[in-house]
């Protein structure tokens, strides 16, 4: 077993431990959402990723339109499923939350589509691991900046966040052409931080729009 698969196996075990604790002693809704979305949906998509790729390639649209269209639909479906399972979503109004997450994550998806995949060499497992790890930054940096002590619970549930984001990424990823050749340790932090930074301008524009539209943000 190579190191990447070993890491993924350890993350899965850690994740399942968190799900069990949440289900019996904490937030049961979060446990149901996480297990169903990551293990069932994400697992099926990963297992049949070659079939999904063939299906998506058969859609007669420009690849970039297919990619961002699928990315938005996957993000929207994830937020709806999160809402239906009784979990808190990013914004209290569902349509605004769908618009916010679907568009804000364009920075994440776009960084991979336009830059990372063209510059650096990745295996499929490596790309999925790094895309998922960016989710820890998305979900964790706000609470940690508000209260540095929050770094501890964020680290504890890191596999939980990682696998949800990996499950979101796995389908759009099938439309990315990985042609990069550059190797080196820098690709790892860049692959995590750059997508987050690329999302910030989009987030700012969306918050200004929601503020002027008087959409509740909290």
Q: What are 67-110's pLDDT values in tens digits?
A: 999 999 999 999 999 999 999 888 889 999 999 999 999 999 99
pLDDT value at 181 more than 90: yes
Using alpha carbons only, give the angle 45, 65, 196 rounded to the nearest 5 degrees: 70
Q: CA 112 to CA 122: how far, in whole Å?
A: 11
pLDDT greater at residue 36 or residue 3: 36
Q: What is the pLDDT of residue 1?
A: 54
- Eight-class DSSP state of 171: T
| Paired tokens of 214 | 């008087």
pTM: predicted TM-score of the whole model, two decimal places: 0.91
Confidence of residue 27 (pLDDT cuts 50, 70, 90): confident
Q: CA 3 to CA 16: how far, in whole Å?
A: 20
Q: What are 112-134's pLDDT values in tens digits?
A: 999 999 999 998 888 998 999 99
| Paired tokens of 73 | 């639909």
Q: Of how many residues is the chain composed?
A: 218
| Paired tokens of 107 | 């920075």
pLDDT value at 41 more than 70: yes
């Amino acid at each position: 077993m190579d190191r990447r698969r070993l890491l993924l196996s350890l993350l899965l075990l850690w994740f399942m431990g968190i799900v069990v604790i949440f289900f019996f002693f904490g937030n049961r809704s979060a446990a149901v959402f996480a297990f169903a979305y990551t293990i069932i949906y994400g697992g099926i998509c990963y297992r049949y990723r070659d079939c999904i790729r063939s299906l998506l390639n058969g859609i007669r649209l420009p690849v970039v339109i297919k990619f961002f269209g699928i990315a938005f639909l996957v993000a929207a479906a994830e937020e709806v499923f999160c809402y239906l399972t009784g979990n808190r979503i990013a914004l209290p109004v569902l349509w605004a939350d769908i618009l916010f997450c679907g568009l804000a994550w364009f920075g994440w998806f776009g960084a991979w589509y336009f830059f990372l995949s063209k510059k650096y060499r990745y295996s499929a497992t490596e790309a999925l691991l790094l895309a998922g790890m960016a989710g820890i930054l998305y979900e964790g940096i706000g609470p940690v900046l508000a209260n540095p002590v929050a770094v501890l619970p964020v680290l504890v549930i890191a596999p939980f966040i990682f696998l949800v984001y990996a499950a979101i990424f796995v389908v759009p990823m099938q439309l990315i052409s990985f042609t990069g050749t550059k190797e080196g340790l820098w690709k790892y932090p860049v692959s995590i931080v750059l997508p987050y930074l690329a999302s910030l301008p989009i987030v700012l524009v969306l918050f200004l729009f929601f503020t002027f539209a008087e959409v509740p943000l909290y």
